[in-house]
């Protein structure tokens, strides 16, 4: 298929090997590098979440179209992570492929996940502080702040099982976006690979743990007296994080490892 738009894309089996090799490199990176890049990823995802909030505020285009436009805005976060270079907990769930192939051990895997999650949280909370200082909530005569507060409250009110299931589905799509981006060569390839899976998870109302580390603290800060739903916010973060782990490690890393790498474990 010479001349085809996708003629030079990596094949799925090649992507699997590239993801496993990437997992080894990430697991062996020094702690300071990992933390710095994780803080960046938290900030990037927070900017995507803020972009989403502004885009959906005051829209009269209907539920589906408004969510789709907001999802396209949210793509900013993962585009910056993947193309700009950063360490995101949800995407790094793909390191499970390197672990399953015995290229890294469980300690290295957990070290990466813990460092990246911590850095992501710091990046999110730092961005919350800057956004509060910038008074972005006052845009549209305060409507942006009202939207942000409503988003946070709805997340805090989700039942445990719902939050967990939405977390699973969300990170299946996020890891698929990263997987597809690994199949491209150019910046355009990677951008196009990211847009549909990420805009889909946002449009569908699924739950991303790192994005929620922006949405929920921002909403709590805007509320001023949000202690009534603080427990719900904490429960959401716990259940969504667990769901993200299941979705990324089992539904994407695990399935593709079984398909392409199960017979290639290191000795």
pLDDT of amino acid 263 = 77
Contacts of 97 (CB under 8 A, 6+ apart): 16, 19, 20, 23, 253, 256, 257, 261
Measure the CA–CA gap between 236 and 230, rounded to whole angstroms.
Answer: 10
pLDDT of residue 226: 61
Domain at 12-261: CATH architecture:
Up-down Bundle (1.20)
Q: pLDDT per position in the chain (267 positions), as tens?
A: 444 455 578 899 999 999 999 999 999 999 999 999 999 999 999 999 999 999 999 999 999 999 999 999 999 999 999 999 999 999 999 999 999 999 999 999 999 999 999 999 999 999 999 999 999 999 999 999 999 999 999 999 999 999 999 999 999 999 999 999 999 888 999 999 999 999 999 999 999 999 999 999 999 999 877 667 889 999 999 999 999 999 999 999 999 999 999 877 644
């Amino acid at each position: 298929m010479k001349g085809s738009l996708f003629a030079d894309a990596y094949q799925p089996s090649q992507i699997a090997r590239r993801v496993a090799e990437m997992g080894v490199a990430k697991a062996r990176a020094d702690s300071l590098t990992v933390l710095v890049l994780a803080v960046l990823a938290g900030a990037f995802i927070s900017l995507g979440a803020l972009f989403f909030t502004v885009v959906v505020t005051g829209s009269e285009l209907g539920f589906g179209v408004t969510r789709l436009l907001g999802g396209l805005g949210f793509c900013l976060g993962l585009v910056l992570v993947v193309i700009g270079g950063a360490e995101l907990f949800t995407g790094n769930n793909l390191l499970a492929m390197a672990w399953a192939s015995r290229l890294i051990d469980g300690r290295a895997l957990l070290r990466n996940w813990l460092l990246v999650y911590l850095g992501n949280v710091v990046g999110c909370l730092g961005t919350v502080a800057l956004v509060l200082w910038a008074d972005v909530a006052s845009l549209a005569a305060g409507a942006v702040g009202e939207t942000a507060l409503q988003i946070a409250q709805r997340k805090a009110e989700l039942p445990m099982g719902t939050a967990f299931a939405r977390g699973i589905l969300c990170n299946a799509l996020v890891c698929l976006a990263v997987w597809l981006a690994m199949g491209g060569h150019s910046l355009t390839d990677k951008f196009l690979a990211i847009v549909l899976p990420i805009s889909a998870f946002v449009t569908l109302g699924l739950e991303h743990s790192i994005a929620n580390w922006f949405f929920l603290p921002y909403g709590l800060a805007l509320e001023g007296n949000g202690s009534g739903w603080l427990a719900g916010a904490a429960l959401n973060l716990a259940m969504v994080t667990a769901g993200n782990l299941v979705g990324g490690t089992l539904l994407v890393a695990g399935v593709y490892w079984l398909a392409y790498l199960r017979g290639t474990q290191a000795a």
